[in-house]
A and B are shown apart, each in its own frame.
Chain A
Amino acid sequence: MASIDTTVSHDNHAQPYGIMRWLTTTNHKDIGTMYLVFSLLMLLVGGLMALLIRAELFEPGLQVLDPARFNQMTTMHALVMIFGAVMPGFVGFANWQVPLMIGAPDMALPRLNNFSFWILPFAFTLLLGSLLTADGGPASGWTLYAPLSVQGGMGVDMTIFAIHMMGVSSILGAINIIVTIFNLRAPGMTLMKMPLFVWTWLITAFLLIAVMPVLAGAVTMLLTDRHFGTAFFDPGGGGDPVMFQHIFWFFGHPEVYIMILPAFGIISQIIPTFARKPLFGYDSMVFATAAIAFLSFAVWAHHMFTVGMPLAGELYFMYATMLIAVPTGVKIFNWVATMWRGAMTFETPMLFAVSVVFLFTIGGLSGLMLAIVPADFQYHDTYFVVAHFHYVLFSGAVMAMMGGAYYWLPKWTGHRYNETLGKWHFWLTAVFFNITFFPQHFLGLAGMPRRIPDYALQFTEFNMVSTIGAFGLGIAQLLFVYIVVRCIMGGARADARVWEGAEGLEWTLPSPPPAHTFTTPPKIA
């Protein structure tokens, strides 16, 4: 295996500095940082939209947003969170950690890496810019169901092209990660020795390459139905609106695992560290991750139980969906077993990790309830579903990223963050998160549909609670921003091995690591 050669850049100019440094960088650490900063920014933007939604829903009647704007906010909130906050956030972690964890000099294709990142700010300019057009942004929900999404103006087309761009970004980013993992591992770093975070990202990257093009296909058909007279989703021409849903969810369901598998990876790094005990059942963890990914291709229509599928289809998709509980359960049990008889301490990363296991399972179990078709007839398109996916997305994906940020920030910056404030951030987040979303289960069961700007009087109480929770949750995130910025600016120095129980290649490097690490590959026993 190689040492690293940076002797010649294609233009032989000196390293640029200032803004040009960031615009042109090919360094995985720089790019990782940019991804993470972008992700945090998008969390704030998407969160602000969520707060607008929650403000409107504080009490019955229209107060803050008119119905058209409300729908745009719902749509945009989801698109920004999914494609702006969660996916780039995880890619940021991958950029920083994958090379450090496998002993590689950088990502395999550094220029492509820069491209993958810089597409994003531009794509989001296009997406958010759609809100400024005469007819406003997309208003059909993030699922963009035809034929509703065939209505609407230029904002919808801008959204379609923004999605194309994000697709390019994700696919290229994923290819880069896969190639890095397959090709740049240090000698002795066999596949079954890789840290679990690397494994989960390998599988996630595969999912991304497999399904992002399908989403691109779906929105392309939407585009031609809108402007070029095709009839993919028009029954008069022999098409079918439900066909859009099939194609969308063929992407959409693997997409939700794209948003959770790297989180599982982060958790699998944190828990052994603070339990001071090796991860329980490494092999079965790898296998379970692969099984989840494999099954994810075969369950998509569980989002469509009410479209009037044939009975056989409904039964099949119900069974297949339920099956995912088995490998996911294996993961949960393995984490619990890792903690069992460890010597645990509860620094902020561990607090986040444990609460992710706990809260994600609530979301997972409500997912299982959603898979039960007759019951889903009641839950579908209600706040029960909204509660489900915020438990898996916020307290699964986002809180795992926060845990990961606390875990690796000292490594990345060389400074320790303020532990007291970190704990405050954790408790505020965990508590207000539950206040925001737990009542939504009850709202859904009582019959409140999702995606409505106004509601009947019997839903008032829980909505008020939820809105209060959301604002508390928002304030807690401002604390997070403060802690992160403070940590970047300075603080107590961190050692190479930041955490007492930490194992792995990244902890053999100084904190912060120099720009180029593992320029000659480390030896792995």
Chain B
Amino acid sequence: MSRIAPALTPTLAAALVLMCAPARAAWDLNLPPPVTPMAAQILDLHNLILWICVVIFIGVFGVMFYSTFAHRKSRGHRAAQFSHNTRLEILWSVIPAVILVVMAVPSTLTLIEMEDTTRSDLSVKITGYQWFWEYEYMDSGYSFYSRLSTPREQIENRAAKGEHYLLEVDNELVLPVGKKVRFVLTANDVIHAWWVPKLGIKKDAIPGYVSEMWAVIEKEGVYRGQCAELCGKDHGFMPIVVRAVPAAEFEAWLGERAASAANITETVTLDPGATVSDVDPTVTVGG
């Protein structure tokens, strides 16, 4: 019996897993394709570190598995009795240290660049609330709220789920392509985090404090993300949608919105107890 355990279990398990593989499968194995230079750098860095780790791993466990097969008692191997080898021990402390330095250099360079929020073309203030976002174009003062727009029925399995289930909002954040956008983050109640994977930026929005980050979006498109810090009941239901458009189109859009917003007085009350389901997503300023 004990002989078949090693062979049988993986087979069984694989069969189980395959049985459930659905028709339309998304088996993505790596970070999503980047659309900003920093996200691209992160992806490169990630790949570099990952492959170094894989090589180390294969090296170390190649040796170990060779040993577990070759140095078995059942194959008549007799145990050697050595227990020290100073030269070896120094070597395997120094080599990892060197590898670490190799990793640290590109990481440091990328980080320094990422933290440099100066010389931006425009600034957007992002405020996290339980459980939605507020965006303010700081130069024009135009602001609006952005909430989940997935209907409750889909979440409660009473309706078929749409393509962008849980990753869709009533008011998207519109940004210009090719400009350095500085984000200024804060929050109103608890800590949230603003994250759009393809832009390669994530930062906490902390009540009473501001943090900053930046992005230059190089490709037009719609980019989706989510709140990435546990912020209470509906943490899983405060998505982020960024629409990147050509600069001219952006200017036109912003001008029009800012003008019409000036005529509307804000009527939204922020009920702290409000949740996805009971805030009417249509009652937002500028929506």
Q: What is the CA–CA distance of A451 and B154 in the complex, to the nearest angstrom?
A: 20
| Bound-complex Cα distance A141 to B232 (A) | 10
Contact between A235 and B96 (Cβ–Cβ < 8 Å)?
A: no
Whether a CB of chain B sits under 8 angstroms from the CB of A468 is yes
Which residues of A455-475 have CB atoms within 8 Å of chain B's CB atoms?
Answer: 455-462, 464-465, 468-469, 472
Q: Does B25 contact A (CB under 8 A)?
A: yes
Given A282-B83, A378-B42; A322-B71 close (CB under 8 Å):
no
Interchain CB contact (< 8 A) of A275 among B10, B27, B79, B165: B79
Report the bound CA distance from A311 to B193 in whole Å.
19
Assess whether A2 is interfacial by the CB under 8 Å rule: no
Cβ < 8 Å to A, chain B residues 1-59: 1-2, 5-6, 8-10, 13, 16-17, 20-22, 25-32, 38, 41-42, 45-46, 49-50, 53, 56-57
A342 beta carbon closer than 8 Å to chain B: yes
Kindly provide the distance from the CB of A399 to the nearest chain B CB, expressed in whole angstroms: 15
The answer, yes or no, to whether B78 is at the interface (CB within 8 Å) is yes
Q: Is the CB of B232 within 8 A of A369?
A: no
A447 touches B197 (CB 8 A): yes
Measured CA separation A62–B26 after assembly (Å): 21
- Chain B nearest CB from A359 CB (Å) reads 10
> Of A147, A236, A323, A468, which one neighbours B100 at CB under 8 angstroms?
A323
CB-contact partner of A62 in B5, B13, B157, under 8 A: B157
Task: Please give the distance in Å from A448's CB to the nearest CB on chain B.
Answer: 9
> In the complex, are the beta carbons of A420 and B1 less than 8 A apart?
yes
A343 to chain B, nearest CB (A): 4
Count, A-B residue pairs, CB within 8 A? 322
The segment from A207-215, A426-434, A506-514 that touches chain B is A426-434
Interface residue? A284 (CB, 8 A): yes
For residue A377, which residues in chain B have a CB less than 8 angstroms away from its CB?
Answer: 42, 114, 200-203
Q: Quick check: B111 and A374 within 8 Å, CB to CB? A: yes
User: Do A465 and B20 have beta carbons less than 8 Å apart?
Assistant: yes
Of the listed stretches A182-190, A219-227, A332-340, A403-411, chain B binds A332-340
Do B208 and A343 touch across chains, with their CB atoms under 8 A apart? Answer: no
- Given the known inter-chain contacts A240-B208, A365-B53, A456-B166, please indicate yes or no for A372 contacting B103, CB distance below 8 A: yes
Cβ B64 vs Cβ A336 within 8 A: yes
Complexed CA–CA distance, A277 and B224 (Å):
56
Q: Knowing A325-B100, A435-B13, say if A345 contacts B73 (CB, 8 Å).
A: yes
Determine the residue in chain B with the shortest Cβ distance to A279. B83
Complex contact A307–B211 (CB within 8 A): yes
1/0 per residue, CB under 8 A from B, across A413-444: the answer is 00000011001101110011001000000100
> Are the C-beta atoms of B17 and A465 separated by less than 8 Å?
yes
CB neighbours (8 Å) of B108 from chain A are 315, 318
Interface status of A488 (Cβ within 8 A of chain B): no
**Bound: A345/B50 CA distance, A:** 33
B230 & A148 in contact (Cβ 8 Å cutoff): yes
Interface residues of B in 70-97 (CB under 8 A from A): 71-74, 77-85, 88-89, 92-93, 96-97
Closest to B194 in A: A306
Say yes or no for A278: interface residue by CB 8 A criterion: yes
Dominant SS among interface residues on chain A: helix
CB-defined interface of B159-189 with A at 8 Å, one 1/0 digit per residue? 0010111110000000000000000010001
B228 adjacent to A339 (CB under 8 Å): no
The stretch among B134-142, B234-242, B245-253, B262-270 that forms the contact with chain A is B234-242
Q: Which of B13, B21, B97, B197 has most chain A Cβ within 10 Å?
A: B13
A280 nearest CB across to chain B (Å): 5
Can you name the residue of chain B whose Cβ is closest to the Cβ of A147?
B190
* Given known contacts A377-B202, A378-B197, A365 and B56 CB-to-CB distance under 8 angstroms: yes
Q: Do A435 and B161 touch (CB < 8 A)?
A: no
Instruction: Please tell me if B126 contacts chain A, counting CB pairs below 8 Å.
Output: no
Complex Cα spacing A431 to B67, Å: 22
Cβ of A109 within 8 Å of any chain B Cβ, yes or no, is: no
Q: Does B278 contact A (CB under 8 A)?
A: no
**Are B156 and A361 touching (Cβ within 8 A)?**
no
Q: Kindly state the separation between the CA atoms of A328 and B270 in the bound complex, as whole angstroms.
A: 50
Across the interface, which residues of B come within 8 angstroms of A322, CB to CB?
100, 103-104
| Min CB–CB distance A34 → chain B (angstroms) | 32
Does B228 contact A369, Cβ atoms closer than 8 Å? no
Contacts A151-B190, A344-B73, A460-B26 given; does A277 touch B208 at CB 8 Å: no
Q: Given the known A-B contacts A62-B156, A468-B16, are A330 and B53 also in contact in the complex, defined by CB atoms under 8 Å?
A: no
Q: Chain A 254-295 against B: per-residue CB contact (8 Å), 1 yes, 0 no?
A: 000000000000000000000111111110100000000000
Shortest Cβ distance from B242 into chain A, in angstroms? 14
Secondary structure type dominating chain B contacts:
mixed
Roughly how many angstroms separate A357 CA and B60 CA in the complex, as a whole number? 11
Mark out the residues of chain A between 225 and 244 whose CB falls within 8 Å of any chain B CB in the assembled complex: 234-236, 240-242
Asked whether, in the complex, the Cβ of A461 is within 8 Å of the Cβ of B207, the reply is no
CB <8 Å contact, A71 and B235: yes
Which of A277, A278, A281, A318 is within 8 Å of B104, CB to CB?
A: A318
Q: A148-B230, A318-B104 are in contact. Are A343 and B53 (CB under 8 A)?
A: no
Q: Does B5 contact A369, Cβ atoms closer than 8 Å?
A: no
Which of chain B's residues have a CB closer than 8 A to the CB of A366?
53
B111 and A458 contacting across the interface, CB-CB below 8 Å: no
Residue on A nearest B64 in the bound complex, by CB = A336
Residues of A within 8 A of B185 (CB): 308
Does A177 sit at the interface, judged by CB under 8 A?
A: no
Give the CA-CA distance A469 to B89 in the complex, in Å. Answer: 39
* Residue A37 CB within 8 A of the other chain: no
What chain B residues lie within 8 Å of A457 (beta carbons)?
A: 26, 161, 163, 165
CB-CB under 8 A from A141, the residues of chain B are: 230
Please measure, in the bound complex, the distance between the C-alpha atom of A236 and the C-alpha atom of B189, giving whole angstroms.
12
Q: Can you give 29 A-B contacts (C-beta < 8 A)? A: A139-B232, A148-B191, A235-B208, A235-B209, A275-B71, A279-B83, A280-B85, A306-B229, A308-B203, A308-B212, A315-B111, A318-B104, A326-B97, A330-B92, A333-B89, A342-B71, A362-B57, A365-B57, A369-B53, A372-B46, A373-B107, A377-B114, A378-B202, A382-B228, A452-B236, A454-B236, A457-B165, A458-B28, A461-B22
15 extra A-B contacts, CB within 8 A, seeds A235-B209, A315-B111: A241-B207, A242-B206, A278-B83, A279-B83, A307-B206, A318-B111, A326-B93, A342-B67, A344-B68, A344-B77, A373-B111, A381-B229, A431-B13, A435-B13, A446-B31
Q: Which 8 A-B pairs have the closest CB atoms?
A: A235-B208, A308-B211, A452-B236, A343-B79, A365-B53, A341-B80, A343-B73, A447-B197
